[in-house]
Structure 1
């Protein structure tokens, strides 16, 4: 351990937009993490649904090592083999015909929203620019994506916001109908809201929104940054609903821990674009795409995808055992291993207290708003690791309940 690299240093050198835990992780293996003092933690957070194969998966390490000795970066003035290979995998396994690579979910969503408006203005009318989004949604931290996101606390205070964005209640078809018109270019939603409390769309809602988009010649955009790539038990969540979007965004688990994102769309929609309309320096770089290819192959396997629902059931069984003792959870939300435990009313606004207590008890969890505990572990976490983590979580819950 470097004695001069401490948690206190964070408060001196990093922009104060985060409030991280008091320990500093330095090593990980599977779903276990060790801090500077050698203390072991069980990871139920997964880097916010990023580490879908745990820490330091040997096949990802090998892919990164091999590519690191070949080619790191060439920009998009040139192309590269890993980017083309990953794009082909995505196209072969989804509705898409075209892929755009970037580095984060926010960048993928920025590209999606720009494409939706550009397509509508080029194909129909310069006034067809309205975007319908949903309360409590989250789409990233760029100014455009944070404005489309339905949580004003993330977009207020930065000056005039991008215009022609309307927010309505999630899963409320009548609310969508009330604002849908010929000026609408896109409806944007997360099939399972991540930061907004792990609310899942109903099949009826998505089917009806799809029909409305068809009627008004608007594009349906699915943000699957958090719920995609095996997280809910299918490669992408839209495949469980039988509702096909026009544009889909993917990130987080796509690189298994290496920063990469993708926007997927159809040939028709992609056809309005041409060189120079949009771009990125790092997107599709060989290192990220080489790791992404390997992560994709592992996740998109029957064994991993079938194991997601099995592990969800084990998590809920343990949470229920905790709940029988302490009565802190009211219901369970989300799909697969995008799992939320909604707190009883007397514990509302205390999700962060549970998170902090969990860290003290050596288990890493997340919150999804002030009232929901969020679990986004590795998709291949072992039963022993779940057992060990839940024993620690039980102690953390007891701390909060008795505080």
Structure 2
């Protein structure tokens, strides 16, 4: 049975502006609607479906896990969850991990971890967390407050206290707001929802040096740009620095809900039993899928391939000299295209031509294709996109 939009509106909360069509199934890097129309996917479910669709090994691993144990709660250990924790901490070069269900939940955990570290060491009154203007960290009350975009703050007051914002790549602004009550700073290596805006390497290195001197924890939100998306394990790995806390989600699950708070040696034992928890966190089925993601994507060979694919896409876009393209930015396969015309219009016209793309900020078309995509598929999609841009007369 296929449902139309009117039926959907009768039963779903009106929190999304759904685009047509209704998606039925996926295979490889393509999605198909209920009329069997085919779409090349440059969105991967907003960075989630890192392995594309119907990935054989991922399907086998999650299916076999469901047949064995779908959930056990965190009262007990299970081997699949422990195996993921061991592999994830080893690849990330972090010490321990708390497993959750989403990026917002991971960021909530990171905030709690940072504040408890400061409380345990310095006592009350040192709990403010800095984040960046144009950042995005989630839609819970606390992660909305951590998000440095006023448009997300409407309607939902009062928020959790203890946040302040600095301008990206502005070290003087950071120094001015680094007051005695600050315990941590939360950063995205690339501000995804804010417009695919990479941070400046020198800014990050100087900021981290100051934080290390003052015992201010450095949190990197890698929910969107982590797990190989930029051609490195994490986006911040492009800056040659270390983080105290790292959050992950999206691409780690490749389609199943998972999140994580990775802890450095410095904060590995801050949480004690009862300090934090999650009913579904570390679910063995999601962990089984995440193990396949790490085995497939998180190798030096894979990182190199992703970097080359990203460079290939940038080259195609910049050399096109398309009149609508103002700037191409990003790392790896996280690419933003600043356009003269409306990115929402580009998205809708691309959809009509069999290509799915995202938007970000006010003026950016965002590309987050599955990381297993081929150069031929990238070329096919970019050709569609360029033709769409050429057809728009704004």
- Select 1:330's aligned residue among 322, 326, 331: 326
Cα drift, residue 394 of structure 1 = 3.0
Farther off after superposition, 157-166 or 385-394 = 385-394
The equivalent residue for 1:33 is 31
- Select 1:217's aligned residue among 215, 219, 227: 215
The equivalent residue for 2:350 is 358
CA contact (8 A) 1:182 1:216 kept: no
CA contact (8 A) 1:135 1:168 kept: yes
Asked whether 1:17 is paired with 2:9, we answer no
Rounded to whole Å, the distance in 2 between the matches of 1:383 and 1:214 is 41
The equivalent residue for 1:343 is 339
1:283-336 superposed Cα distances (whole Å, 9 cap, x missing partner): 101000011011111011233211112211222233235x53x41111111111
How many correspondences in the alignment? 394
Q: Scaled by the length of structure 1, what TM-score is found? A: 0.95
Rounded to whole Å, the distance in 2 between the matches of 1:272 and 1:386 is 44
1:2-401 counterparts in 2 under 5 A? 2-3=1-2, 5-320=3-318, 323-324=320-321, 326-344=322-340, 347=341, 350-399=342-391, 401=392
Rounded to whole Å, the distance in 2 between the matches of 1:9 and 1:384 is 38
Task: Name the CA shift for 1:217/1:302 in 2 (closer, same or farther; >3 Å).
Answer: closer
Q: Which runs of 5+ in 2 are unaligned?
A: none
After TM superposition, the runs of 4+ consecutive aligned structure 1 residues lying more than 3 A away are none
1:250-280 superposed Cα distances (whole Å, 9 cap, x missing partner): 1111011111111101243132211111100
Rounded to whole Å, the distance in 1 between the matches of 2:51 and 2:227 is 11
CA contact (8 A) 2:318 2:328 kept: no
Q: Which runs of 5+ in 1 are unaligned?
A: none
1:198-231 superposed Cα distances (whole Å, 9 cap, x missing partner): 1111221111111221222210000011110000
Rounded to whole Å, the distance in 1 between the matches of 2:277 and 2:85 is 16
CA contact (8 A) 2:244 2:266 kept: no
Rounded to whole Å, the distance in 1 between the matches of 2:95 and 2:359 is 36
CA contact (8 A) 2:243 2:264 kept: no
What SS does the corresponding residue of 2:68 show, helix, strand or coil?
coil
Cα drift, residue 159 of structure 1 = 1.7
Rounded to whole Å, the distance in 1 between the matches of 2:356 and 2:135 is 24
CA contact (8 A) 1:365 1:375 kept: yes
Rounded to whole Å, the distance in 2 between the matches of 1:250 and 1:163 is 24
What SS does the corresponding residue of 1:100 show, helix, strand or coil?
strand
Rounded to whole Å, the distance in 1 between the matches of 2:382 and 2:215 is 48
Rounded to whole Å, the distance in 2 between the matches of 1:229 and 1:300 is 7
Rounded to whole Å, the distance in 1 between the matches of 2:209 and 2:220 is 15
Cα drift, residue 153 of structure 1 = 1.2
1:170-214 superposed Cα distances (whole Å, 9 cap, x missing partner): 111100000102211101110111101111112211111112212
Q: CA RMSD in A?
A: 1.4
Asked whether 1:402 is paired with 2:385, we answer no
